Amino acid sequence: MFNKLFGKKKITEEWVTPLSGKLIAIEEVPDPTFSKKLMGDGVAIVPSEGKVVSPVDGEIIQLFPTKHAIGIKSENGIEILIHIGLETVSLNGEPFETYIKTNDKVKAGQLLVSFNLEQINVEAASIITPIVITNEDKIDNLSKQDSREVSAGKTAIVSYEVKK
C-alpha cells in the first residue's frame, strides 16, 4: 500500500567499461547474434589491450570452459555477458587466462581475464568484444554512451533503472 502511495525508489545501475579501447554500438558488431540483439542489448568494444575487468559489483555466474565468455550477475540481479572477440570459442581457451571462477564475488574494476590480443586478431573472426544484458526484461531506460575511446574500470559506458 505504501508503495502505491509513495512509489518505489528506482535503483539506477551503471557499468564501467570492462576493456580499454574504442566503444562502439552493438549494432556495429559483425555478427548478427549480437548486432540484432538476439542475446540482449548492450555495447561493444574494440580492445586496445588484453585485459577484462568487471563492469559492476556482483558475482560470476558463468565462466565458459573455453574462457572466451563470462557471465556476471550484478548486485541488483542484472545479468551481463562479456564475449571476448567473435568466434573465439574455437581457440579452446588457449589465448585466455582467468583470475576468477564461477560463484566468485567481484568488484567493479577487478581483473577477470587476460588474453593475447594479437593471437585473437589473427586466429578469430574479430577482436570486437560485445557486452550485453541477457535479462533485459529486468531494466528500464537503458542509456549507452556514444562511440569513443574508453579506459577499463574507469569510464562509465551504460546505465539503466532496475525494475523491482
Cell 539503466 locates to 160
Residues 6+ apart with CB under 8 A from 138: 77, 78, 162, 163
**50-79: buried (b, 16+ CB within 10 Å) or exposed (e) per residue?**
bbbbbbbbbbbbebbeebbbbbbbbebebb
Identify whether the C-beta of residue 128 lies closer than 8 Å to the C-beta of residue 9.
no
- 3-state DSSP call for residue 91? helix
Which residue is catalytic, options 54, 83, 157, 158? 83
The yes-or-no answer on residue 68 being catalytic is no
| C-alpha distances in Å from residue 99, one per residue of 6, 17, 28 | 44, 18, 29
Helix (H, G, I), strand (E, B) or coil at 10: coil
Residues annotated as part of the active site: 83
